[in-house]
């Protein structure tokens, strides 16, 4: 798949997720087969650029190309300025967030709330596309609510404004992440635009990825929550799309090594104190990927891990747990 001057290595992408798709996780997913990874959303507000959170989100040191950065905001001029600023700081693709359903984002008329105002959508897209020479992409939902599924209208606006790729989550803003994603709207949009279209929402296995691609006609799929604790899902989907066969799940030893490297990179990126806290959710996700003989033991282990403040001890406890006989020797597919 071609995106501007960039040839993407696979049609399986990592979705931007606040608090999840930091640099260590993006690099991990790329190493396991993600064809494109998108950063956590970066605010367009200039006065927040020097905050520690924003600085970390803009850290792309050592990342493989192309580097895609998602920006969020409501004012065309600020969004254009944010696009220029991020390009100057390493971004090669600018992704515009009009898909986030979080209340704190929508309450300021950003994220998926923008889909209510198609005039503002056009103003923002035109401003950002005009501000940079780099490819600009857009992420949306199917609409605001079930009575206002205006994704097709937004898609036409996006194509007319010069957006080079559109990603769509198969839920409305009011759905948030409840219920199940629907793909009829994505399939409809595919019939009416010529730019690449990426399907997102509830794609949690290789078989589901293939089904969604066939049903919608989308050019690629975007994986979000299903990659949490299971970053090898990218190579599993790639293998299935290429061969029609399921890839064997990773061995216990490989999972242990993946998690060990992930935690070590988190400590290095955030510093040990903050890294330990951020690692807790990832440890929980990894452990839930296992079939346990005793789920109560998993709960007790997570409670234990959440009390640990020391990075070397946290890492040692996790590795010891993964070697426990209570865990099956194969990871749940």
| Active site residue ranges | 100
- Is residue 172 within 8 Å of residue 146, measured between CB atoms? yes
- Looking from the CA of 115 toward its CB, the CA atoms found within 13 Å total 33
Give, in order, the Cα–Cα distances in Å from 102 to each of 107, 120, 178, 191: 8, 19, 13, 29
Long-range contacts (CB closer than 8 Å, 24 or more residues apart) made by 18-21: 18/100, 18/102, 19/281, 20/228
In whole angstroms, what is the distance from residue 93 CA to residue 91 CA? Answer: 6
Return the SS3 of 163: coil
In whole angstroms, what is the distance from residue 283 CA to residue 307 CA? Answer: 13
Q: What share of the chain is helix, strand, coil (3-state, %, to 5)?
A: 45, 15, 40
- Is residue 120 within 8 Å of residue 161, measured between CB atoms? no
């Amino acid at each position: 798949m071609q995106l501007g001057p960039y040839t993407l290595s696979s049609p399986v992408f990592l979705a931007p997720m606040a608090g999840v798709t930091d640099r260590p996780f993006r690099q991990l997913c790329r190493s396991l087969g993600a064809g494109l990874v998108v950063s956590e959303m970066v605010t367009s507000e200039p006065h927040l650029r020097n905050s520690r959170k924003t600085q970390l989100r803009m850290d792309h040191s050592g990342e493989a190309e192309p580097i895609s950065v998602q920006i969020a905001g409501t004012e065309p001029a600020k969004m254009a300025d944010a696009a220029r600023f991020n390009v100057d700081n390493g971004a090669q693709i600018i992704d515009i967030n009009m898909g986030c359903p979080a209340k704190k984002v929508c309450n300021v008329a950003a994220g998926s709330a923008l889909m209510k105002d198609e005039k503002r959508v056009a103003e923002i897209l035109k401003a950002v596309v005009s501000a940079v020479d780099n490819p600009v992409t857009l992420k949306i939902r199917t609409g605001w609510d079930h009575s206002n599924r205006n994704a097709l209208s937004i898609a036409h606006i996006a194509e007319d404004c010069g957006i080079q790729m559109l990603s769509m989550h198969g839920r409305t803003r009011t759905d948030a992440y409840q219920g199940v994603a629907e793909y009829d709207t994505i399939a409809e949009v595919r019939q009416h635009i010529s730019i690449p279209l990426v399907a997102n929402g509830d794609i949690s296995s290789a078989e589901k990825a293939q089904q969604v691609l066939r049903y919608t006609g989308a050019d690629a799929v975007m994986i979000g929550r299903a990659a949490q604790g299971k970053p090898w899902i990218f190579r599993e989907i790639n293998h299935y799309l290429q061969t029609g066969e399921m890839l064997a799940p990773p061995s216990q030893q490989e999972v242990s090594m993946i998690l060990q490297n992930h935690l070590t990179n988190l400590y290095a990126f955030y510093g040990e104190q903050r890294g330990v806290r951020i690692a807790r959710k990832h440890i929980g996700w990894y452990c839930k990927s296992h079939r346990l003989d005793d789920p109560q033991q998993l709960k007790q282990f997570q409670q234990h891990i959440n009390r640990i403040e020391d990075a070397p001890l946290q890492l040692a406890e996790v590795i010891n747990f993964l070697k426990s006989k209570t865990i099956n020797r194969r990871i749940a597919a």
